[in-house]
Amino acid sequence: MNKLILVIALVINLTVICLPKATMGVQQPVGELSIGDEHLGGVVFYLFQGDDGRQHGLVVSATETLAAWQSPVSLVNAGSTTDGPENYKLMVDSPAKDWITSNFSSEWYLPTLNELSILWVVRFKINEALQKGSHTPLAMDGYYWSSRERGERFAYFFNFEDGDPYTYGKEVKYSVRAVRAF
């Protein structure tokens, strides 16, 4: 029943009172968050109620860069569509990973295809929040690297113009956004 109420609240965009926002890298107790809220140094783009009865979700970074997935290319076995942190740990010689590592705490990682798909669905709401906070909006026609590779020379990216995943050479510079779970 609680999960149903949460889903209904999200669908009708019910505004719920939040306690003070957390600072980057520090999780503080919060009330109910909504899609588009600033939290943990980014913007909330996915929410669910965990088995522990608490609200959990995903946050996307407020900034992005252009970077290659890997250079020089090699096979690292980052093949999961659902485990971004595991794919991210496997990545080596990666300008995309280097950017995330040097700009964010260790909880942040390159998103999975599934996470990019969810982000694409709520992209208009997220861009509203990013622009309101004077952050870098998502590129509506951008190509965003995922953490999943396809063999030695290719990795998956998500096309924000048509909402589909594709593969391309790892040495090409595409947009990179970090995500983290809470």
Task: Say if residue 84 is in the same domain as residue 173.
Answer: yes
Task: Say if residue 28 is in the same domain as residue 96.
Answer: no
Task: Say if residue 69 is in the same domain as residue 26.
Answer: no
Task: Say if residue 81 is in the same domain as residue 147.
Answer: yes
Q: How far is CA 83 from CA 50, 66, 79, 180, in A?
A: 17, 23, 9, 12
164-169/173-176 β-pairing:
unpaired
Whether pLDDT at 8 is above 90: no
- Candidates 122, 105, 111, 113; CA nearest to 40 is 105
Mark which of 20, 46, 61 sits at the end of a domain: 61
Q: Flag whether 38 is in a domain.
A: yes
Task: Say if residue 87 is in the same domain as residue 126.
Answer: yes
Domain that holds residue 100: 65-177
* Predicted model pTM: 0.82
Q: 59 near 182, Cβ under 8 Å?
A: yes
Per residue in 22-79, pLDDT (tens digit) is 333 444 445 799 999 999 999 999 999 999 999 999 999 999 999 999 999 999 999 9
The domain tally of the chain equals: 2
Task: Say if residue 109 is in the same domain as residue 55.
Answer: no
Q: Flag whether 182 is in a domain.
A: no
